[in-house]
Amino acid sequence: MLEWIQRGLSQGKVTTRYPRGPEPAPDGYHGSIELLNAKDAPPTLEDVCPTRAITVDVQQRVKLDRGRCILCGECVRRAPERFAFRADYETAARSRSALVLGDWENEQVEPVRQALGEQARMLRRSIHVRHIDCGSDGSEEWEIQALWNPYYDIQRLGFFLTNSPRHADILLVTGGVTSPMRKPLERTWNLMPDPKALVAVGTDACSGGLATEGGKVAGGVDQVLPVDVYVPGSPPAPIAIIHALLLATGRLTPGEVAA
Amino acid sequence: MSFAQQSLKAPGYPPEQLGATREPGPAGEVRLAVKAAAFAAGARVMQEAGARFATMFLADRPERSLIAAFALRGELVLLRAPAGGESAVFESIGAWWPAARWAERELSELHGVRFSGHEYPGRLTAPDADLLDRHVSGLDVFSIPYGPVRSGIFEAIQFYIESGGEDVLRIQTRPFFKHRGMEARFAGLTPDVAVHVAERVAGIASCAYASAFSQAVERALGMQVPQRAERWRAVYCELERMACHLDVIAKEAEAAALSVGQARFQILKEQVMRLRSRLTGNRFGRGAILPGGVRGEGMMDLDELLRAVDNIERQLLRDRRMFLGTASMTDRLIGSGRLPRKLVEDYGAVGPVARGSGLSTDARHERPYGNYKRLGLQVVSERDGDSMARVMVRFGELSESLRILRQTIDQLRRRDGELQAPLPALGDGAAFGWVEAPQGELLIWVELRDGRLHNVHIASPSLRNWALFDRAFPKDVLTDFAFIEHSFGLTPAEADR
């Protein structure tokens, strides 16, 4: 056992400083899609997206819904003058409409949940997290598990994993909610004491992603329960999920980037 | 001439008696057509010839048919019988071949195919989390429906455990909580878009799925892929295998409360994830592989990649030695979840589960594809059949993956070349594609009409191995559960699709 302790110490510290310092994504990382030009788009532009994340209105303006985007890059390849990959991690938002780029009417009126801010003060730095899978592809689970590895070590920020919904403050939900998982999801949420927050992790949880059209999934967690923070991504990277947890507890505000 | 062709052509051999006719197909596939009434008899012939049952599904080419696929000595044998019309009833194969049972249940529940001669209990594809289904009676026997909401961060699946307090008396795996209808999602898409669907059938094996799907499309269209593209595919797939195997070992360490060991293997896994992120822009390698080749060169300098691989190997050797030298760790693995070789064969198990019980089945070796045709592969196999054997298979394969990576990077450094072959716009055809995914052999059947996907079937390693999990607790107790489950290393996403 002593040898293991030596082995652990010999590695040195690998833990990220995030959010006390920035953790930039590597060059070329496919973190999100940027909308470079929203004007004068042909209606056929909608067809490049397999999850209908791109819409063109009657004034030929483009909207890009990151909550539906699976980052497949078809739009970047077929319309490089309008879309580009961006190497960023901090993509989470506190409302579904805030994930829609080019949505001029809704952008300013993002509802800041008053209760959530108060919750965050009450929860302080001992926040217990529970996870439930409602039909993910399995990759989101890996990225949530990674939060407890030495690189991300989320316990240093006061987040702990709990196995009981009775002890949980935050519920992380993955997947677009398949029908057999609807009841277990509702029961888990109802067993959690107030105040509590729900984080939809991944594009599938935000909107159902690719699976929506088959009719086997509800099309996002918010079809079943109110969602406090949405993290798009297929899957979102661990830093993106940390960002979402900080948003959910009011320790970061939308648009605020780690110093 | 291969064994399968020889034996199937021998005069008087049962397929001829059954009136089987040979149909044309791509290399590596032997396609036989029989009448519906002779379907089960044909499967029996396969069993007697020593074949492994792989999968069974409905196809639309050349007509509505039931196809069963068998792996037999380096070839895939497809047995086809027409399934059109109301009257088609097939004799059950699952009645005497356990490997066919879940396939039959899925076909009858989801697609209305009728089988006679075997009764299945309950419904496999419509799970009910609250269903109590007690089979063991006794005063102190209780049932634990474990899942679909698991303790910890795990995918949704339920294990219905009956126990007398310590001994696991009976266990019943209940999949399909996550059925998303992914196979149907392919229909109507062009292959270059459909590959995004394939990648999301099993998120942790995205590269394996993208490769198997792409190879199926390429085989259906009779295309050749540039060598350099095949090499990059091998790089991505071996990195994926390493991430999956390291994940299993880290979870075994976690189950034994070996915290530093867990942290060490998590560190190695994260290093592999970051390598993939730098190479492809995605931590799971998504978007890198597509039908016809690969999207582009890896975004990392090859010398740097080689140094990273060397660095991982140095750390891994030391951590492996310590893991295997920690008695509190290995004591939990040795002897638990023992699967005799015969049982594994009957259930048609694949991957590390099969190789841990003395089988040497590995798609990279049985039916070499892509760059594996040019690489010698050492199949890692262990005899003991317990959780330890399955973990040892993974340790062995980690070393083998590192060797393949080094050899492939060397090939990439020596010669330049094309990365993509153009896909015909209006291609037609049908074929299987296969890879050895980290969880085991993955088969994907595609049918293309006018350049669009028409019908896709996925035979996932997880679904084929999970039926065996119910038999993996011969002398084991409740506290062995986590060790045995992790040693299987399966993912519900691909089992439920």
Residue B262 pairs with which residues in a beta bridge? none
The answer to whether B283 contacts A143, with C-beta atoms less than 8 Å apart, is yes
The answer to whether A142 contacts B260, with C-beta atoms less than 8 Å apart, is no
The answer to whether B299 contacts A27, with C-beta atoms less than 8 Å apart, is yes
Residue B383 tokens read as: 């005899």
Q: Find the CB nearest A135 among B180, B269, B286.
A: B180
Q: Which residues of A touch B493 (CB under 8 A)?
A: 136-138
The answer to whether B203 contacts A136, with C-beta atoms less than 8 Å apart, is yes
Q: How close B497 comes to chain A (CA, Å)?
A: 9
What is d(CA B52, CA A160) in angstroms, rounded to the nearest whole number?
Answer: 46
Inform me whether the C-beta atom of residue A70 falls under 8 Å from chain B C-beta atoms. Answer: yes
User: Which segments in chain B show pLDDT lower than 50?
Assistant: 1-3, 11-12
Give yes or no for residue A253 having a pLDDT over 80.
no
Contact call for residues A62 and A84 (beta carbons, < 8 A): no
The answer to whether A234 contacts B286, with C-beta atoms less than 8 Å apart, is yes
Residue A231 pairs with which residues in a beta bridge? A201
Is the peptide bond preceding residue A26 cis, with omega within 30 degrees of 0?
no
What local confidence, expressed as pLDDT, does residue A22 receive?
84
Kindly list the distances between the CA atom of residue B112 and the CA atoms of A88, A109, B87, B495, in Å, as whole numbers in the listed order.
47, 50, 12, 20
Closest alpha carbon within chain A to B299: A28
Residue A185 tokens read as: 């999801």
All domains in chain A, ordered by first residue: 114-248 (3.40.50.12280)
**Which phi and psi (to 5°) does residue A92 adopt?**
-70, 155
Closest alpha carbon within chain A to B496: A135
Closest alpha carbon within chain A to B298: A28
What is d(CA A26, CA A30) in angstroms, rounded to the nearest whole number?
Answer: 9
Inform me whether the C-beta atom of residue B395 falls under 8 Å from chain A C-beta atoms. Answer: no
Q: Find the CB nearest B277 among A3, A26, A72.
A: A26
Q: Find the CB nearest A150 among B149, B263, B326.
A: B263
Q: Which residue out of A32, A72, A137, A170 would a mutagenesis test of the B interface target, given it has the greatest number of B Cβ atoms within 10 Å?
A: A137
The answer to whether A138 contacts B283, with C-beta atoms less than 8 Å apart, is no
- Please report which confidence band the pLDDT of residue A117 belongs to, taking 50, 70 and 90 as the band edges: low
Give yes or no for residue A159 having a pLDDT over 70.
yes
- Please report which confidence band the pLDDT of residue A122 belongs to, taking 50, 70 and 90 as the band edges: low
Closest alpha carbon within chain B to A173: B153
Contact call for residues A159 and A201 (beta carbons, < 8 A): no
Q: Which residues of A touch B203 (CB under 8 A)?
A: 136-140, 142, 235
Q: pLDDT tens, A43-88?
A: 888 989 999 999 998 888 999 999 999 999 999 999 999 999 999 8
Closest alpha carbon within chain B to A48: B193
Contacts of B124 (CB under 8 A, 6+ apart): B102, B105, B106, B109, B175, B176
The answer to whether A136 contacts B493, with C-beta atoms less than 8 Å apart, is yes
Which residue, B353, B319, B307, B349, is CA-closest to B484?
B353
What local confidence, expressed as pLDDT, does residue A121 receive?
65
- Residue ranges in B288-423 assigned as alpha helix (H): 302-324, 327-333, 341-346, 351-355, 363-366, 387-414
Average of per-residue pLDDT values in chain A: 86
Which residue, B187, B180, B181, B185, is CA-closest to B60?
B187
The answer to whether B284 contacts A139, with C-beta atoms less than 8 Å apart, is yes
Inform me whether the C-beta atom of residue A217 falls under 8 Å from chain B C-beta atoms. Answer: yes
Q: Select B185-487's CATH number: 3.60.70.12, 1.10.645.10, 3.40.50.720, 1.20.120.450.
A: 1.10.645.10
Residue B307 tokens read as: 């140094």
Q: Find the CB nearest A211 among B152, B180, B283.
A: B180
Q: Which residues of A touch B179 (CB under 8 A)?
A: 135, 178, 180, 216
Q: Which residues of B touch A71 (CB under 8 A)?
A: 282, 286-287
Q: Which residues of B touch A54 (CB under 8 A)?
A: none
Q: Which residues of A touch B181 (CB under 8 A)?
A: 211, 214-217
Contact call for residues B35 and B61 (beta carbons, < 8 A): no
Q: Which CATH code is given to the segment(s) B3-8+20-116? A: 3.30.460.80
Given its phi and psi angles, is residue B138 left (phi above 0), alpha (psi -120 to 50 degrees) or beta?
left
A91-114: string of b/e by CB count within 10 Å (b at 16+)? bbbbbbbbbbbbbeeeeeeeeebe
What is d(CA A167, CA A164) in angstroms, rounded to the nearest whole number?
Answer: 6
Domain positions in chain B: 3-8+20-116, 185-487
Q: What is the DSSP string of B201-240?
A: TSGGGHHHHHHHHHHHHHHHTT----HHHHHHHHHHHHHH
Out of A205-209, A254-258, B90-94, B394-398, which region has the weakest mean confidence (pLDDT)?
A254-258
Inform me whether the C-beta atom of residue A134 falls under 8 Å from chain B C-beta atoms. Answer: yes
The answer to whether B283 contacts A151, with C-beta atoms less than 8 Å apart, is no
Give yes or no for residue A252 having a pLDDT over 80.
no
Please indicate, yes or no, whether the overall pTM of this predicted structure exceeds 0.80: yes
Per-window interface: B 279-308 vs A, CB < 8 A: 281-284, 286-287, 299
What local confidence, expressed as pLDDT, does residue A107 receive?
43
